């Protein structure tokens, strides 16, 4: 059994450091989407479709069976695979099911990135900050100090380019339209992780509604925020391990 972890924005694979030791798996693989801890290949347009295809290609090189776990935009890529390439995985887990609900409204920062010129200014401001200042910001939002420093060090021009292209490719009604296919994700067992204090993904009501449409189980991380894998790594791993144990 291989657990594959896919992170999101504005992150690197260090986001999983505290979670991995608690996972019960023969093999744990961390994949870094282009621009988010790995280089952007030539011709890669950083759209949501491009990330789906990138992830499909990566999964095709790994040992089966694969249990695919995604956080933030990584969770979005996971849902795309579950809906459109389910033969590549045994199961899927995502923490952003609510973003695929018809009533989801992109959070304020996403809307900034989706706005021409203003988005470029916001990214330039982010990249212009000293790494230590970025780390302090991430720590204030829920990362541990050690992880925040590693993630902050990964910010570069590739990440800025990827942020703008990815969010603009998914501006509404794109996510709403993609969510119309959620029932196809039921082709493989799924788990919706819901961190009750995560303010970016639409909240528990939308997440549960999308989970129902996708035929997914639900695990609630009460009191955890967007970076639940830093705040509640043991509890989150227990939820993941319990879900996967039922598949054996």
CATH for the 2-107+174-245 domain, from 3.40.50.1980, 3.40.50.1820, 1.10.260.40, 3.30.365.10: 3.40.50.1820
Peptide bond into 207 cis (omega under 30): no
Do 175 and 53 touch, CB atoms closer than 8 A? Answer: no
11-25 confidence digits (pLDDT tens): 999 999 999 999 998
- Given a cut of 80, whether residue 248 has pLDDT beyond it is no
Domain boundaries, the chain: 2-107+174-245
Do 74 and 51 touch, CB atoms closer than 8 A? Answer: no
243 vs 238: CA distance, rounded Å: 9
What is the spatial order of strands in the sheet that 91-94 belongs to?
Answer: 27-31, 2-6, 66-70, 91-94, 190-195, 217-221
191 vs 115: CA distance, rounded Å: 33
Q: In the prediction, which pLDDT does 160 show?
A: 97
129-183 confidence digits (pLDDT tens): 999 999 999 999 999 999 999 999 999 999 999 999 999 999 999 999 999 999 9
120 vs 116: CA distance, rounded Å: 7
191-209 confidence digits (pLDDT tens): 999 999 999 999 999 999 9
């Amino acid at each position: 059994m291989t657990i594959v972890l896919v992170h999101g924005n504005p992150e690197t694979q260090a986001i999983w450091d505290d979670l991995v030791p608690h996972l019960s798996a023969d093999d744990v693989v961390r994949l870094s989407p282009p621009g988010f801890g790995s280089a952007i290949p030539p011709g890669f347009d950083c759209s949501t479709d491009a990330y789906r295809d990138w992830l499909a290609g990566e999964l095709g090189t790994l040992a089966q069976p694969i249990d695919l776990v995604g956080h933030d935009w990584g969770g979005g890529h996971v849902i795309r695979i579950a809906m459109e390439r389910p033969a590549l995985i045994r199961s899927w887990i995502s923490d952003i099911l609510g973003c695929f609900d018809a009533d989801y409204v992109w959070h304020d920062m996403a809307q900034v990135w989706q706005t021409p010129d203003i988005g470029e200014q916001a990214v330039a401001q982010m990249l212009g900050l000293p790494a230590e200042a970025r780390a302090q910001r991430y720590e204030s939002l829920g990362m541990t100090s050690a992880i925040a420093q590693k993630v902050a060090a990964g910010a570069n021009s590739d990440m800025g380019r990827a942020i703008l292209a990815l969010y603009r490719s998914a501006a509404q009604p794109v996510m709403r339209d993609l969510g119309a296919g959620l029932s196809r994700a039921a082709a493989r067992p799924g788990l919706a992780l819901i961190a009750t204090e995560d303010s970016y993904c639409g909240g528990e009501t939308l997440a549960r509604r999308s989970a129902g449409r996708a035929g997914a189980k639900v695990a609630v991380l009460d009191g955890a925020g967007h970076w639940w894998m830093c705040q509640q790594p043991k509890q989150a791993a227990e939820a993941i391990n319990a879900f996967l144990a039922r598949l054996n």
